[in-house]
Amino acid sequence: MRAMVLTAPTRAETEPLQLQQVERPVPRAGQVLLRVLACGVCRTDLHTVEGELELPRLPLIPGHQIVGVVEQRGEGVSAVEVGERVGLPWLFRTCGECEFCRRRQENLCERAQFTGLHVDGGYAEYLVADEDFVYPISESLSAVEAAPLLCGGVIGYRALRLSGVAPGERLGMWGFGASAHITMQVARFLGCEVYVFTRGEEHRRLALELGATWTGAPEEQAPCPVDAAIVFAPAGEIVPLALRAVRKGGTVALAGIHMSPIPQMPYELLYHERVLRSVANSTREDVRNFLRVAGAIPIRTITQRFALEQANEALLALKQGKVRGTAVLGVAG
């Protein structure tokens, strides 16, 4: 099969992925073989190829926002059928035994494995996945439209929930890329006013198009305090700005898996019971709940399509802030 393979981490400007012919995987007991239709290009993929995340293995095929068709079932598989269209997100597998799994916090599993990091991901024509960690995908969305829901959508949904914002309240968002443009639609569905802080003029236009109450640069001050905030941009210097904008008792949720250092800041930004919290991965329950909500809204994903062999181009466009919505590799179909 064809795959875009990382052999050594390097900057996106140097085309870190190589198009190779590699062995097609074979599903083991409890696994399915997926023919990949589409795979979203996530900022986590960028952190992976540039070596900002510790890489458990090389060579590696990135990609973890995957929509595919079940081509083959391993021994004992009964939950999915051959020919069924399913999605595979970032969380590939958990141990089911550690204290976090027992507490229903499997997103914090001590031995979790992640798609496109511990195991080969979706920048390829085929991959294998555990039947317990794939999800039916509605036929109302094309594969390219559905792919961004499986990470940007799910993580944004978890961040929105952990921010504590209530229906009708004011939500601040710093950064407006793949995850934020989906999360905003959920917030608007809840009746929230959304205030978007981003440098890109095109991103501001998209935010207003999707119903933002106000947009401005990250350093600007909104016309009123927000009740909760989500920081999507991986820039630590934004954290004090978000805390400054949040009312007393409000929460700032950090949605990224990687962030530059948070600078020293005065205690009064955190005082008055403001909360600063990270958002780590997601659970299977998050995915199932979000896909139900996405279908009810229904979510409209803004995508920019690339071919599989254009994965380097997609990653560079993402790094340079030139993607409107989400970059998606259309692999087949």
Q: 55-87: per-residue pLDDT in tens?
A: 999 999 999 999 999 999 999 999 999 999 999
User: How distant, in Å, are the alpha carbons of 73, 281, 287 from that of 79?
Assistant: 10, 24, 16
pLDDT at 309 (0 to 100): 97
- CA pair distance 58, 108, nearest whole angstrom: 24
110-135 mean pLDDT? 98
pLDDT at 110 (0 to 100): 96
272-298 mean pLDDT? 96
pLDDT at 184 (0 to 100): 97
Domains of the chain, earliest start first? 2-141+301-330 (3.90.180.10), 153-278 (3.40.50.720)
> What is the percent of the chain with per-residue pLDDT over 90, rounded to a whole number?
96
pLDDT at 232 (0 to 100): 97
pLDDT at 139 (0 to 100): 87
CA geometry: angle at 125 spanning 92 and 332, to 5°? 115
- pTM reported for the whole predicted model: 0.93
Q: Is the dihedral of CA 206, 211, 212, 214 positive or negative?
A: positive
- CA pair distance 17, 182, nearest whole angstrom: 28
Residue in 220, 93, 227 with CA at minimum distance from that of residue 167? 227
Q: Which residues of 5-39 are buried (b: 16+ CB within 10 A; e: fewer)?
A: bbeebeebeeebbeeeeeeebebeebbbbbbbbbb
pLDDT at 188 (0 to 100): 97
pLDDT at 7 (0 to 100): 98
Residue in 181, 216, 136 with CA at minimum distance from that of residue 303? 181
- CA pair distance 265, 286, nearest whole angstrom: 33
Grade residue 296 by pLDDT with cuts at 50, 70 and 90: very high
- CA pair distance 203, 207, nearest whole angstrom: 6
7-31 mean pLDDT? 97
pLDDT at 333 (0 to 100): 56
Residue in 41, 23, 48 with CA at minimum distance from that of residue 114? 48
Pairwise pLDDT comparison (333 vs 162), residue with the higher score? 162
Q: Tell me: the pLDDT tens digits for 128-148?
A: 999 999 999 988 889 999 999
pLDDT at 264 (0 to 100): 97
Quick check: 293 pLDDT over 90? yes
